[in-house]
Amino acid sequence: MGKVYFVGAGPGDPELMTLKGLRVLRRADLVIYPGSLTPREAVEEWAPDAELVDSYGRSLEELVELMVEAAREGKTVVRLVSGDPFIYSSVYEQVRELERAGVEYEIVPGVSSVNAAAAALGEELTKPGVSQTVILTRPAGRTGKPKGESLRELARHGCTMVIFLGVRYLEDIVESLLEGGYSEDTPVAVVYKVSTPEEKIVRGTLADIVEKVKEEGIDRTALIIVGDVLREEGERSHLYSKEYARSVRR
Ligand SMILES: C[S@@+](CC[C@H](N)C(=O)[O-])C[C@H]1O[C@@H](n2cnc3c(N)ncnc32)[C@H](O)[C@@H]1O
């Protein structure tokens, strides 16, 4: 019996694959990858000897059948997932089916687009005295979103917010965030295709971001990052204060 590995493919740059993921890819027989988010050239570089299948346009059932069949033939299968599998990846649905079929699996983490976006902005998303909390969320769309998780509700916290899968609905999102309590001058960054050659960063405020993003023609594959951390310096962190260093030495 073979095994299925769910591997975080990172946000696009082939160098953002982990060493662990690369080791698994090097010995994979079959790699299923999300062609819309992970370039085929990257997959060919990571897994030169494997059979490659683009998951775009295939149903979950079809993909699970492919994985189960290959594992039953004793093959090592890698299911690449854009970014990290911990968020908006449908991994849990696939894992459930593999468990039903008695196929062994393992999840290998990757670099999420949120990590890469913060790096591209040159920012830390938490700053002492400004925000110590990051909300990762998405607009409701067709996916069921529990009550109490509406953007307007979440905006009440006023902390840093990262919105996935939302740039197409930017106008509605801005409206909900303002209704929830962010002020019009709250900084926003929209980060498109981070870590790829097409990367674009648009910075603005809740008052002008819709226009700016429209001008750039961005309508997919972007993160919306909102909050005062994008503007403010923040207080000194205790971790690197002289007093803390002295007490640790003692
Ligand atoms: C289905 S979700 C997958 C998220 C993924 N699991 C992760 O950790 O980044 C796809 C959404 O993630 C964000 N995303 C994925 N790759 C991105 C990239 N390279 N640049 C900006 N946003 C990206 C966009 O919001 C996109 O609509």
5 touches 108 (CB < 8 A)? yes
Residues 72 and 148 in one domain: no
Residues 123 and 221 in one domain: yes
Whole-number pLDDT of residue 237: 64
Distance from residue 245's CA to the centre of ligand 1 (Å):
38
Whole-number pLDDT of residue 241: 64
- Among 7, 108, 112, 164, which is best to mutate for testing ligand 1, by the most ligand atoms less than 8 A from CB? 164
Distance from residue 248's CA to the centre of ligand 1 (Å):
39
For 44, phi then psi, to 5°, come to: -65, -35
CATH number of the domain that 57 lies in?
A: 3.40.1010.10
Closest CA to 42 of 210, 197, 231: 197
Single pTM value for the model: 0.92
CA distance 55 to 94: 13
Domain extent, residue 12, equals 3-111
Is residue 132, in this structure, part of any structural domain at all?
A: yes
Closest CA to 8 of 89, 63, 64: 89
Measured from CB, residues less than 6 Å from any atom of ligand 1 are 11-12, 37, 82-84, 87-89, 112-113, 164-165, 191, 193-196, 221-223
Residues 212 and 125 in one domain: yes
Whole-number pLDDT of residue 64: 96
Is residue 31, in this structure, part of any structural domain at all?
A: yes
Q: Of ligand 1's atoms, which has the minimum distance to the CA of residue 220?
A: 27
Angle at 61 between CA 56 and CA 64, to 5 degrees: 85
Is residue 23, in this structure, part of any structural domain at all?
A: yes
Q: Of ligand 1's atoms, which has the minimum distance to the CA of residue 163?
A: 25
Protein residue with its CA nearest to atom 3 in ligand 1: 88
Protein residue with its CA nearest to atom 18 in ligand 1: 193
Distance from residue 35's CA to the centre of ligand 1 (Å):
13
Distance from residue 238's CA to the centre of ligand 1 (Å):
33
Residues 21 and 101 in one domain: yes
Is residue 155, in this structure, part of any structural domain at all?
A: yes
Whole-number pLDDT of residue 153: 95
- Among 114, 221, 226, which is best to mutate for testing ligand 1, by the most ligand atoms less than 8 A from CB? 221
Is residue 236, in this structure, part of any structural domain at all?
A: no
CATH number of the domain that 141 lies in?
A: 3.30.950.10
Distance from residue 164's CA to the centre of ligand 1 (Å):
6
The tens-digit pLDDT sequence of the chain (250 residues) is 999 999 999 999 999 999 999 999 999 999 999 998 898 999 999 999 999 999 999 999 999 999 999 999 999 999 999 999 999 999 999 999 999 999 999 999 999 999 999 999 999 999 999 999 999 999 987 777 888 899 999 999 999 999 999 999 999 999 999 999 999 999 999 999 999 999 999 999 999 999 999 999 999 999 999 999 998 766 666 656 666 666 665 5
Token pair 């998951």: residue: 55
Residues 90 and 125 in one domain: no
Residues 219 and 147 in one domain: yes
